């Protein structure tokens, strides 16, 4: 069997997530594992300032959107190992529903419950809702405005009458039911939403809106590029490059003019 030449960082970072893991692929596909692990668990991670816990949260969000159930189940175990709470894991999953759709999330709900119960945790977890049927719309609009500002008023004013119910759903359901929950703060939820949207693909208009939303809540260009970089091994280059293009459109890089002047 081919001896794997893995870097110390690749081994260390892999072991941090999956301690004492015996990989079947190391035996069946050693060349691939050597190539992939040295890149994804060493080079890619070295490019980011994201802490391990945040990185794993984003990977969970991304694998849900990508419908990568097998990888997701493995990463839930890793998430527990690096310190994510069961509530944080469930909130990532719930947060995905308005963006990915329950048809795609359904199997992930059951898989999550299975992993949690196999780790000795009892269900249901403590509830995290902060709204009532009477307050969900009002609090949802407040959450929208906290992220997107007065653009929300303009969006509602310009909505055709026969589509106004969708704007109401966005306020009361997407934001009122989900963004207002405890367990994750707004800044984290908005970063997770960005991760889901770029992983879905074909959502560039929504990605653009949520790049702006992330900037408004304190997730700057550097952090967004860190997110895209860390998700590259999981979503591939086309969606990565599309995400970077949208980031550049919303918040252009500051070094292009400097680079051009230097070249001359």
35-56 residue pLDDT tens: 999 999 999 999 989 999 999 9
Highest mean pLDDT among 2-6, 23-27, 33-37: 33-37
The pLDDT of 227-247, averaged and rounded, is: 98
pLDDT above 70 covers a percentage of the chain that reads 96
pLDDT classification of 2: cutoffs 50, 70, 90? low
pLDDT tens digits for 163-208? 999 999 999 999 999 999 999 999 999 999 999 999 999 999 999 9
Angle (deg, nearest 10), helices 52-65 and 186-200: 40
Least trusted range by pLDDT, from 28-37, 65-74, 253-262: 253-262
Report CA torsion sign: 58, 61, 62, 68: positive
- Which 8-state DSSP code applies to residue 42? I
Copy the structure tokens of residue 2. Answer: 């081919």
The pLDDT of 245-254, averaged and rounded, is: 96
Its pTM stands at 0.94
| Of 13, 40, 36, residue with least CA distance to 26 | 36
CA distance 44 to 229: 7
Q: What is the pLDDT of residue 255?
A: 76
pLDDT classification of 256: cutoffs 50, 70, 90? low
Copy the structure tokens of residue 26. Answer: 């190391």
pLDDT tens digits for 77-105? 999 999 999 999 999 999 999 999 999 99
What does the mean pLDDT of the chain come to?
94
Burial class of residue 238, CB neighbours in 10 A (0-12, 13-18, 19+) = exposed
From residue 173, give the alpha-carbon distance in Å to each of 91, 97, 140, 153, 257: 15, 10, 7, 17, 43
User: Does 63 score more than 60 pLDDT?
Assistant: yes
CA distance 198 to 204: 8
Domains contained in the chain, CATH given: 47-123+180-258 (1.20.1290.10), 136-175 (no CATH)
């Amino acid at each position: 069997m081919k001896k794997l030449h893995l870097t110390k960082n690749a081994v260390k970072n892999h072991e941090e997530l999956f301690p004492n893991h015996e990989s079947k692929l190391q035996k069946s596909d050693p060349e691939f594992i050597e190539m992939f692990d040295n890149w994804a668990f060493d080079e890619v991670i070295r490019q980011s300032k994201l802490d391990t816990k945040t990185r794993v949260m984003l990977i969970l969000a991304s694998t849900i959107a990508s419908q990568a159930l097998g990888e997701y189940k493995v990463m839930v175990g890793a998430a527990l190992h690096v310190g994510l709470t069961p509530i944080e894991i469930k909130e990532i999953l719930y947060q995905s529903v308005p963006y990915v759709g329950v048809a795609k999330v359904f199997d992930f709900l059951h898989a999550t419950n299975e992993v949690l119960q196999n780790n000795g945790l009892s269900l249901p977890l403590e509830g995290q809702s902060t709204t009532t049927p009477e307050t969900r719309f009002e609090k949802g609009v407040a959450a929208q405005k906290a992220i997107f500002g007065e653009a929300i008023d303009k969006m509602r004013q310009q909505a055709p009458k026969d589509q106004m119910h969708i704007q109401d759903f966005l306020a009361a359901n997407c934001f009122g039911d989900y963004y207002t929950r405890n367990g994750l703060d707004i800044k984290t939820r908005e970063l997770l939403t960005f991760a889901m949207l770029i992983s879905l693909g074909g959502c560039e208009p929504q990605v653009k809106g949520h790049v702006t939303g992330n900037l408004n809540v304190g997730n700057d260009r550097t952090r967004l590029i860190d997110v895209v970089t860390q998700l590259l091994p999981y979503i591939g280059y086309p969606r990565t490059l599309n995400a970077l293009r949208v980031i550049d459109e919303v918040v252009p890089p500051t070094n292009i003019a400097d680079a051009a002047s230097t070249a001359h």
